[in-house]
Amino acid sequence: MIGFCILQRKYKTNRRHKTVSGKTETEKQSKHAPRSQFVSNSIEGHYRFAAVASDAGPPCARIGTHIMRRRHGSAVDAAIATLLCQCISNFHSCGIGGGFFMTGEKSAYTIIARETAPGEANETMFVGRSSTEGGLAVGIPGEIRGLWLAHQIGGKLPWKELFKPSIKLCREGIVVGNPTAFAISRQTENIKKFQGLKDLLVNPETGLLYEAGDKIKRPKLARTLKIIANEGVDAFYNGRLSKDIVADIQDAGGIITEDDLAKYTALRKDPVVVKLNLDKTVFSPPPPSSGAIVQFILKILDGYNLNEKSLSCKQKEIVLWHRIIEAFKFGFATRTNLGDGDVENEAFREKLNEFLSTLTSEEFVDEIRSQISDSQTFGTDYYGPTFFDTVNSSGTSHLSVLAPNGDAVSVTSTINFFFGSKVVGSRTGIIFNNQMDDFSTPNAIIPESPANFIKPGKRPLSSMSPSIIVGPDGVVNLIVGASGGTKIITSSVLVTVLTQWLGFSIKEAIDHRRLHHRLLPPIVDVERGFPQFILDGLVLRGHNITVQDSAGSVVQGVLQRREGCVTANSDFRKEGLPDGF
């Protein structure tokens, strides 16, 4: 195997690297000292042909690898099978009651399977009323329709086969991991209000909430998945399951009808594309995803010609992070212009398309960059927001896949908050999303964007930004995405900057302590452990710093420096595992 960047690892049930003499295996195998001051004991997988980076523990990434290696399935096949598993293992974050955005390459497509507002929805339905829980908070689920569309585009194996591992998991039981246990521990009050959630999360043997290491069986969901596997997508939207799905939602106060389900469509669209220096191309989903904002921020930073010398001294490093924060602020100022153009009028669609064209044009980006001062930051109004973005979420999951033939899939799925709307179907076992909360509401104290007001059939704005970066030779270089609300945008940018310009490995980039600024509130959220000298330099430039124990985001990435040299890392912050061959 000499001449190939490959290290086949047989992963043990322990998710962590074995530590020897205070150094992880990854450190000992690296030619250079870690670029990040913090090094977790997560696994950096080194492979030759293919990789899967999942935010769930075993066996999800291995399922994807098995699909490609043993069954000769495609990147899409692996993504579907892994995502189904991932949303059962991390069932607080995603599932078939939610939706997703997907970016695929080499044929360069995106799938928008974001939930839509029901036919009876209106823009004032949540004025003075909660939009976060109960049946009214549920948007029409898009997950299954989107996976079906993905399979039609790039699937090779039978649809039914991709469901088998997850059906087995539901029947035999899912071991509760630490991230899910944490989410469960925060549901003490909710289980008093939602019987289905209580039935799911309370251990009948102890009468207590399930904890890490416990096993949860989900026979109702297993039955639902088996019906979808055997009968296809119509079973969910216009067939055997649709009456039960609607009844589960309406029993909790929802307004989704069978007609709403039958009319739901997932969309195949061209990606938004931006060219960076070194002939690299970034592919991301169009609105209502925030892929265009990720690209806009990268385009701003691209003009600084960043490289490893940008970290050559403390002063340069301070300026680097200051510029990144300023680019974040301009990015979030522009984000409130985005919305779902598919259900708005022609004038809005034209305005949106014009805005997207302008957003990454050299002239516009140069003008924005010229407004960034290396010596100071400015007040909120300086960055030009018309409205403000107040949407956030906690329940999201990301998956990155690279196949042996070079195809790639980047997919981010969500039910929005932990356990979504808290509605668990008594008939279907489905945990339903609370995606209606992602819409803006008129008459809010903080003015929100009319581009994101509720309208029947409309998809709310999302921070999800699954992206793929391709090099000048057409070879996929980076597959990246994240979970974590608005921090999806900033963490995806950070990992891209660190790997593409500053020479970090995928593990070093994902391990690196993070910072985040969403313009409002005017605060830099900093993960604890970020170098103090940088924070001191940022304070001198006028930044308000808040140190937090958690980054608030989780990134999964696959990096390919050249063909035959593939590395993958699953963020230690959610205890996921990569796999590959």
The model's pLDDT over 402-419, given as tens digits with 9 standing for 90+, comes to: 999 999 999 999 999 999
Q: Are 111 and 268 in contact (CB under 8 A)?
A: yes
463 annotated as belonging to a binding site for a ligand: yes
pLDDT at 268: 98
Q: How far is CA 397 from CA 189, 314, 506, 557, in A?
A: 24, 35, 18, 13
186 annotated as belonging to a binding site for a ligand: no
pLDDT at 447: 58
pLDDT band at 36, cuts 50/70/90? low
Q: Are 261 and 276 in contact (CB under 8 A)?
A: no
Find the catalytic residue in 396, 412, 486, 567. 396
Q: What span, in angstroms and rounded, lies between the C-alpha atoms of 291 and 385?
A: 18
pLDDT at 58: 86
Choice between 247 and 14, residue whose per-residue pLDDT is larger: 247
The model's pLDDT over 443-493, given as tens digits with 9 standing for 90+, comes to: 665 557 788 999 999 999 999 999 999 999 999 999 999 999 999 999 999
The model's pLDDT over 254-287, given as tens digits with 9 standing for 90+, comes to: 999 999 999 999 999 999 999 999 899 999 999 9
pLDDT band at 346, cuts 50/70/90? confident
569 annotated as belonging to a binding site for a ligand: no
The domain spans of the chain are 49-184+211-268+398-435, 270-392+464-573
Question: Average pLDDT, stretch 211-238?
Answer: 98
Both structure tokens of 182? 């944490």
Active site (annotated) includes residue 26: no
pLDDT band at 422, cuts 50/70/90? very high
pLDDT band at 391, cuts 50/70/90? low
415 annotated as belonging to a binding site for a ligand: yes
* Residue 178 host element (H or E): helix 178-185
Considering 36-40, 392-396, 516-520, the range whose residues carry the highest mean pLDDT is: 516-520
Question: Average pLDDT, stretch 392-399?
Answer: 81
**What pTM value is reported for the model?**
0.92
DSSP tag of 329: H
DSSP tag of 431: B
270-392+464-573 CATH, one of 2.40.40.20, 3.40.50.2020, 3.40.1410.10, 1.10.246.130 = 1.10.246.130
The model's pLDDT over 527-574, given as tens digits with 9 standing for 90+, comes to: 999 999 999 999 999 999 999 999 999 999 999 998 889 999 999 999
pLDDT at 476: 97
Q: How far is CA 34 from CA 135, 499, 565, in A?
A: 48, 13, 19
Average pLDDT, the chain: 92
